[in-house]
Structure formats: C-alpha cells, structure tokens
Amino acid sequence: MSGSGRAPAGRAPIDLPALAVVVDGMLAARSASGPLLVGLAGEPGAGKSTAAAELADRLPAARVLPMDGFHLPQAELVRLGRRDRMGAPDTFDVEAFVALLERLRDLHNSGATVHAPGFDRRVEEPVPGALALTPELRCIVVEGNYLLLDSGGWQRVAPLLDLTVGVVLDEAMRHERLIARHVAFGKTPEAARAWALGPDQANAELIAPTLARADVLVQAQ
C-alpha cells in the first residue's frame, strides 16, 4: 500500500467505539506504574487529531499528546534547509519525543507533572510547555504521523506504546480535508492544494506502509 488511504490487505478496520472498548479493557487489566500509552498513526489529513480527541473523551482520566509539538522551530528548519519539507520525518525532534514517552511510562511513580509542547498551526511553531500531563492520568493518547516508522530514530517510538492504532480514511476525502485545513490556517486554495499533493503526499507515501505494523486499524469518519 502506498498513499492509498485504504487499510492494509487482509486487515479490517474497526470503528472508534469499538476501539474505546478495547482500550477500556486494557485499562481494567492494567497493573503497570504508568498510564496506558495508546498511539494513533496515520497519513496527513487522515483524522488522527479528531479520532484521538474522541477516544480520550470516551476513556477515564485520558489526555491527548500530539506529536506536532515536536516540530523543529521554523528558524531551525530554515538553517537546516528543510523548511520546504516541513512535516517530513527529519523535521521533528525525535530524540525529545522519545525522551518524553520514556518519562511518561513512569509518570505514576514520579508523582510529578510532565510538561509537553503543543503546536500553533496559525504560525506553524511549537509551543513549549503547553500541555500538562499529570500523575493521575490513566491513559495518554499519542497521535502523529510517524509513530510506526522504522528508521531515523522513529523506530524507538512504537516499543514505548502499549497499543498502536492505524487511522485510515478514503484517499479523496483525506485530500479534501487536508486542503481545507491548509486554507483554514491561511494558505490560498492553490497553495493549499500544492502543499497537500506535494510535501504532504510525499509524507503520506512514507506513512502508509507503516500502518501494517499497527496492532489495530480504526476507520476515521
């Protein structure tokens, strides 16, 4: 599968309520010292953020952690010559992301709130310390493009997650939503389409094959 927006061959996606039942069962059986870490991966525009928020709303003491907060700052991307590829795997601080996940696995024992960066789409910059992840959290829903990538340092992510989920969506709808999102955050329709079918699509073609590694697939709505 390459940028198809379809589930990997032989894999039938479930819906979000069914996923919530699976995660709730894992929480009920859990005896570990940290929160359950559930990772939602998918192509740009597949609906990861919406699915993660809805899943967290269905679970007790859950919070969403977006991978987008680990984008490198714009000035650093310019310095590295990667600004025109923003969103590619090497435009994130994967080391900081992995370090945060390692801290979260021991969140209950530490007794200390962990602060994580958010992301402001209006200016396309990370926002340091925007999210407070507190020790009483039972589940953290991590969402991002490259949670299942097996290179560039990203291969260290999936082993830190208790459940990995691939979010799939029809390709035409994914493109439509992605273009609309870019327009909503300031791009002209022409620029939005060019970015969605250029850099975003290049990233989608990297991500799509990784979804076969997910423990479960969920159909975005």
User: Is 132's pLDDT higher than 90?
Assistant: yes
User: Is 8's pLDDT higher than 70?
Assistant: no
State the average pLDDT for the chain.
Answer: 93
Summarised one tens digit per residue, pLDDT across range 51-107 is 999 999 999 999 999 999 999 999 999 999 999 999 999 999 999 999 999 999 989
Q: Is the dihedral of CA 57, 98, 160, 3 positive or negative?
A: positive
From CA 163, how far away is CA 159, in angstroms rounded?
A: 9
CATH architecture of the domain formed by 16-219: 3-Layer(aba) Sandwich (3.40)
